[in-house]
Each structure stands twice: as structure tokens, then as C-alpha cells.
Amino acid sequence: IYKSPYPDVHIPKTSVFTHVFASRGPGDVGGFPGATKAFVDAASGAYLTRAQLRDLALTFGHGLRTHPATKPLARRGDTLLIYSPNSLAWPVVLFGSVAAGLRCTTANSAYTSRELAHQYTDSQAKLLITTEDGIRTVREMFAELGVAKREGDKRIIVVGRDLQWAGGPTIPPSVDAAGLLAMEDLLKGGKMESEERFDGDLSNETSYICYSSGTTGKPKGVETTHLNAIALLSIIGPHFPPCKAQDVLISVLPFYHIYALIQVLHLPFLLGLPVIVQPRFEPTVFCANIEKYKVTISLIVPPILVVLARHPAAEKFNLSTLRFLFSGAAPLGKDLVHQVKQRLRKLGAICEISQGYGLTETSPTTHLLSVEDSERKMGSIGSLLPNLEARLVDDEDGNVDAEEGSPGELWIRGPTVMKGYLNNPAATANSITPDGWFKTGDVAIKDKDGHYYIVDRRKELIKYKGFQVPPAELEAILLTHPDIADSAVIGVDDVVEATELPRAYVVHAHPEKIQTAAAKALFAQSVVKWMETQVAKHKFLRGGVAVTNEIPKSAAGKILRRELRDLAKKEATS
Ligand code: 4UV
């Protein structure tokens, strides 16, 4: 059992809301002056101060618990689903919900009605908050689930008609939103004196439910407890680079994913940093915002570094304020890091780049590469964070440990390991051992200095630009295609874009219909197009579709993904 090289830290036994917002002195909110900026909308410049955010969250929580439309659906322990791109409303909704004793489940704002239906149903959400742009998909989802429009509409809250509460514009309500409850309606009736009291065991009280496919199958609800989140914030805080009063952080990472949920919505607030909220990554807008807000820090995924290394926009704006980029969610190549550092140096920025590693199930970060080690150990995910233990396991059951310096599956134990998969004891038992070890499905090596390297992935998961793409989900969808008899989806590397691309192998239901290479290519192309009508963008089959006679399977019927990955490599080089 490997221990963290760092001494254990104290983990307060309190609720998320208290941990984030409790005053430590007069006029302060969470340890910093209440009048300082917490979240800034990049486009309009509208912002929420720390005190405004706390007060609006308590007001929203009060609205949820008392408004006649939401009262019966927002009881203690009920779940609210957030289906919205990043915005200033996000932290209000999130912290307001947990203050009111609710759980939040967070969905990708690009989800189709089918994807949303899975999460809405599986999480047993009672309420759903979305923007005007999301209403149509939500209504489609209710229709697909057989819920009458009137009943479905009762569960929808629309955010963003009037952003004046955040110093933003008033937008006239759309026709679609007419008759639906608006977030603003919940901000009119006073505020809770303080958050809902938690009397029970906070290590068992779920606050957030993000979705992850884990090592296999469809996305599952990951129960992150109040204590999981606070443990993560406590163990990572001291290891994040030292922040100065003038530091400004920008993030384009989607708030629904655990990485931003914890490290953008919670961590900067605890460190006293303002967060510039840019809802979507667009290279020119990103660089323009760095100049406009004199940004010093950004949390990113590797494909954003590709842009900083090559995109002409980087030269059009003043990026000289940047001093730290933190990457995560996917492998980070050494060469890419050097290219970005060199280019930024030419543009006048002395910028350190390091990375973290983690999973939705570990709330998320388990490893972090310190700035001091970032040059020397580039490519490593860094050292194990405090309060955590790790094993590198050489067999399925954990009876054999890998030799020192040899690869093994990374197992993690500690206070940030999720409570379990929501309503799925079988999946939980498959991923957490009775003595508390969580199996990451990633294969790692540890060097003699205690730095870990991810060298392989044993699980099915594909990552497109840091987004999860569960192969089993795409395979199930492919099987609904009338001309497909069998399918398997794997990830193929795209070195230029620093990501993996989902690629499908399909068996035609009537092979005699597509005998020529041209007919096969045409069919493959039609499958790529068809998939684009079924799933969110990040799951498109960007790695292409190949028609094959048979999917390689084990005697037990399991897809032999390694064979397909080897085949894909051969196809790429031939
Ligand atoms: O469940 P998930 O989608 O979770 C994440 C979490 C990302 C991060 C990033 C920076 C942090 O500091 C942090 O705490 C968390 O993406 O996907 C988990 C899988 O993503 C791969 C790995 O296969 C995980 O099982 N992954 C995540 N980070 C890295 C990574 C990395 N630095 N290097 C290689 N693979």
C-alpha cells in the first residue's frame, strides 16, 4: 500500500454550504471580503460578488422550498437536475439547492433528449432547470418518457430571462418559456436565514450526482457526499499553486463535469480568486478574454493547449499575464507542454504548466504534479494527494501487487472515494472492494520518487477532449440501426488534436447488400451521419466507421477491444 508523501490534513465535518460560505470575520464570506468578485460573465462583464452569491443562493433555496410550484418537489433529499451551459446562474442554483438540502445532478448541456432521459429517470430528479434553449429538448424528453406536457412543464424551471440580479440584461421571455416557472420567480420571496440543518451523518449525505460510465456500461450516477467534496477541497487546496491577490482565473470547462464542478465552482472561491465564466471554448474569444480580464490562471484540458501552441489568435492578444495552466481529464504530452511554454514565452508570458489526475468517482483529484516538479517530471500525473492510499494491482481481484516500477491497475482508498453508484449496488460492488479500494480502470507506474504515470486504460472508456464517451452506450445505439447486426466502439488516438476519437466497427445485417468497397464506404459514411442525429456532439464517430464481418469476442461474449485497437493502429499506418 502506497501512502501519500504529504502529511494528512484535517477534513472539517460540515456541509458544503458552510464550508464554502462561512464567515471567518466581520464582512467576509468564506474568508475573503464579501464585496469582492466571485464569478464574472466574460461576455457582458456582469458579476456576482461573494456576498451576492451567498445571499442569492439562500434566496433561491428559500424559493425552492416555499414557492407553491416547487415546494412539493423540493423536499429535503430530493434531486434537481441542472441542464444548462455555464453561466452566472449555475453557482446560484448549485449552492442554493444544497443549502436547501437538495441534491444536484448535472447533465451535459449538449445532451439529446434520449441522453437526458437516461439521467433524468435514473437520478429520479423531481425538478429540472434549463435555459430557454434547452426547453425544447426537455419537452421532447418528457414526451419520449410518456409524461403529459402539462405534467412535464410543472417540473421545469427556466433560467436566464432576466439577469438583472447579476447586473446583466433583461431578455424578453421566449414563446417557449411562456407559462413556465422562471428562476427569477424563485428569487422574489425572501431568503433562508441559513442553510437547511443537517443532523445526520454527513459522510452519507449526497450533495452532487455527476454521471460516469466507470469501467463499463452506461453512465451511472456517482454519489458525491458533502464530505467527499470537502475532503477533496481540503486535500487539494494546499497543493494548488500559491495564489496572489491579483490572480484571476478563467475557465471554459463545463460545470456539469466533476473537474469544473469542484475545481472551478468551489476551489477558486475558497482560494479567494474571481472566476471568469466563458460558456464555450472558442479560441479567439478565449484569448480575447485573457487580455480583457488580465487572466493569470486557467484550468484546461489538453486540446486547449493545442490551440495555445498553434492557433493564430494567441498572437493577436496580450497573453503576457498568464502564469499558470492546470490540465486534467486526459493524458498530457510532454512535447505539447514544451511547445506551449515556448510560444507563451515568446509572447511575454512566463507560464508554468502542470496537471492533475482524477475521476468522477474520486471527487475528482487523486494525483497532482506540483509546479516545482513540472519540468523535471513532465508527463507524470504527480504524487498521491494527502489522506489517500494507492495500490498498483496486477490481477483482477487485487491478490497480486505489481512489482515496484512495473505497471498495475491503480486502486485508490480515502475520504474522496464516492459513496457509490446511485441505486446500483452491483456496479458499486464491482468498483469498490469491501475494504474500500476503488478500482480506477487505469494502469499506472510509480517511479522511485513517488511520481505516477498513467500508461494504459484497462476499462472501456473513451475520452474525447476530456469528455466521457461510453462505448457501451454507442454500441447500444448502433444496434437500433436497422442495417446493423453487431457493433463495437473503441477510441483511436489523434495526436495532432491531443485526444481520442470514437471509432465504430459494425457488422451489416445483410452483408450481401454491400459487397464492393465503395458500397461499404458509403454505408460507413451514412452511419457516421446517422449517429450525429442520435447523440451529443462529443460522441460523434469522429474516428470513422469500419464495416467488418465479425466483432472479435471472448468465449464469454465480451468484445476484445484490444484486438480492435491493434487493428485500428494497423489500418492507420497502412
Ligand atoms: O470521470 P472522468 O470524466 O473524470 C475526469 C477528471 C478529471 C480531472 C482533471 C484534473 C484534476 O485535477 C482532476 O482532479 C480531475 O476526467 O474521467 C476519468 C478518467 O479520465 C482519464 C482517466 O482515464 C480517468 O480514469 N484521466 C483523467 N485525468 C487524466 C486522465 C490525466 N491527467 N492523465 C491521463 N488520463
Contact 52 CB / ligand 1 (< 6 Å): no
For residue 197, the model assigns a pLDDT of 81
Q: Cite the DSSP H helix spans in 438-546.
A: 471-478, 517-531
Contact 462 CB / ligand 1 (< 6 Å): no
Ligand 1 atom 24: residue of nearest CA: 359
Q: How far is the CA of 365 from the centre of ligand 1 (A)?
A: 8
Q: How far is the CA of 518 from the centre of ligand 1 (A)?
A: 40
ipTM: 0.99
- Tens-digit pLDDT profile for residues 336-370: 999 999 999 999 999 999 999 999 999 999 999 99
Q: Name the one residue in this structure whose C-alpha cell is 445505439.
A: 477
Largest CA distance in the chain: 78
* Backbone angle region of 45, left / alpha / beta, with phi > 0 → left and psi within -120 to 50 → alpha: left
Atom from ligand 1 closest to the CA of residue 210: 1
For residue 559, the model assigns a pLDDT of 92
Ligand 1 mutation target, pool 256, 337, 357, 368, most atoms within 8 A of CB? 357
Contact 260 CB / ligand 1 (< 6 Å): no
Contact 388 CB / ligand 1 (< 6 Å): no
- Tens-digit pLDDT profile for residues 180-224: 999 999 999 899 988 888 777 777 899 999 999 999 899 999 999
Average pLDDT of the chain is 95
Contact 364 CB / ligand 1 (< 6 Å): yes
| Cα separation, 368 vs 451, whole angstroms | 9
What lies within 8 Å, CB to CB, of 409 at 6+ separation is 392, 393, 394, 439, 440, 441, 442, 443, 444, 458
Q: Give yes or no for a contact between 231 and 43, defined as CB atoms under 8 angstroms apart.
A: no
Report the predicted TM-score, pTM, of the whole model to 2 decimal places. 0.95
Contact 328 CB / ligand 1 (< 6 Å): yes
Contact 442 CB / ligand 1 (< 6 Å): yes
- Tens-digit pLDDT profile for residues 313-333: 999 999 999 999 999 999 998
| Cα separation, 155 vs 221, whole angstroms | 20
Confidence label for 529 from pLDDT (cuts 50, 70 and 90): very high
Contact 355 CB / ligand 1 (< 6 Å): yes
- Tens-digit pLDDT profile for residues 235-256: 998 888 888 889 999 989 999 9
Atom from ligand 1 closest to the CA of residue 327: 10
Q: How far is the CA of 330 from the centre of ligand 1 (A)?
A: 6
Closest CA to 249 of 316, 289, 298: 298
Ligand 1 atom 16: residue of nearest CA: 329
What percent of the chain is modeled with pLDDT above 90?
87
Closest CA to 471 of 544, 365, 559: 559
Fill in the DSSP letter of residue 401.
B
Atom from ligand 1 closest to the CA of residue 440: 25
Residue 358: strand pairing partners: 365
C-alpha distances (whole Å) from 417 to each of 107, 134, 176, 217, 258 are 21, 32, 41, 20, 13
Contact 302 CB / ligand 1 (< 6 Å): no
Atom from ligand 1 closest to the CA of residue 368: 12
Q: Give yes or no for a contact between 492 and 501, defined as CB atoms under 8 angstroms apart.
A: yes
Q: How far is the CA of 72 from the centre of ligand 1 (A)?
A: 37
For residue 456, the model assigns a pLDDT of 92
With the C-alpha atoms ordered 271, 277, 282, 283, is the resulting torsion angle positive or negative?
negative
Q: Give yes or no for a contact between 415 and 400, defined as CB atoms under 8 angstroms apart.
A: no
For residue 554, the model assigns a pLDDT of 86
Higher pLDDT, 229 or 495: 229
Q: Give yes or no for a contact between 492 and 543, defined as CB atoms under 8 angstroms apart.
A: yes
CA atoms within 13 A of residue 515's CA, in its CB half-sphere = 2
Q: How far is the CA of 284 from the centre of ligand 1 (A)?
A: 26
Ligand 1 mutation target, pool 359, 366, 458, most atoms within 8 A of CB? 359
Q: Stretch 538-559: mean pLDDT, rounded?
A: 93
For residue 254, the model assigns a pLDDT of 96
Cell digits of residue 457? 486504460
Q: Is the pLDDT of residue 413 over 90?
A: yes
- To which H or E segment does residue 424 belong? none
For residue 34, the model assigns a pLDDT of 97
Confidence label for 373 from pLDDT (cuts 50, 70 and 90): very high
Pairing type for strands 352-358 and 365-368 reads: antiparallel
Ligand 1 atom 2: residue of nearest CA: 359
For residue 198, the model assigns a pLDDT of 75
Atom from ligand 1 closest to the CA of residue 364: 14
| Cα separation, 493 vs 457, whole angstroms | 13
- Tens-digit pLDDT profile for residues 256-297: 999 999 999 999 999 999 999 999 999 999 999 999 999 999
What lies within 8 Å, CB to CB, of 341 at 6+ separation is 351, 353
Contact 234 CB / ligand 1 (< 6 Å): no
Pairing type for strands 79-83 and 127-131 reads: parallel
Cell digits of residue 311? 492557433
For residue 347, the model assigns a pLDDT of 95
For residue 556, the model assigns a pLDDT of 81
Q: How far is the CA of 46 from the centre of ligand 1 (A)?
A: 31
Contact 357 CB / ligand 1 (< 6 Å): yes
- To which H or E segment does residue 122 belong? helix 113-123
Q: Give yes or no for a contact between 34 and 416, defined as CB atoms under 8 angstroms apart.
A: no
| Cα separation, 54 vs 39, whole angstroms | 12
Helices 334-346/302-310 angle, 10° precision: 40
Ligand 1 atom 12: residue of nearest CA: 356
CA-atom Rg of the chain in angstroms: 24
Contact 4 CB / ligand 1 (< 6 Å): no
Contact 331 CB / ligand 1 (< 6 Å): yes
| Cα separation, 558 vs 574, whole angstroms | 27
Contact 325 CB / ligand 1 (< 6 Å): no
- Tens-digit pLDDT profile for residues 82-141: 999 999 999 999 999 999 999 999 999 999 999 999 999 999 999 999 999 999 999 999
Confidence label for 171 from pLDDT (cuts 50, 70 and 90): confident
Q: Give yes or no for a contact between 358 and 365, defined as CB atoms under 8 angstroms apart.
A: yes
- Tens-digit pLDDT profile for residues 13-54: 999 999 999 998 899 999 999 999 999 999 999 999 999 999
What lies within 8 Å, CB to CB, of 387 at 6+ separation is 4, 8, 9, 11, 231, 234, 235, 414, 415, 416
- Tens-digit pLDDT profile for residues 512-523: 999 999 999 999
Higher pLDDT, 52 or 571: 52
Q: Could you give the dihedral angle defined by the CA atoms of residues 198, 204, 206 and 207, in that order, rounded to the nearest 10 degrees?
A: 50
Closest CA to 363 of 271, 220, 225, 268: 225
The DSSP result for 299-333, as a single string, is EE-HHHHHHHHH-THHHHS--TT--EEEE-SS---
Confidence label for 408 from pLDDT (cuts 50, 70 and 90): very high
| Cα separation, 175 vs 191, whole angstroms | 30
Atom from ligand 1 closest to the CA of residue 355: 32
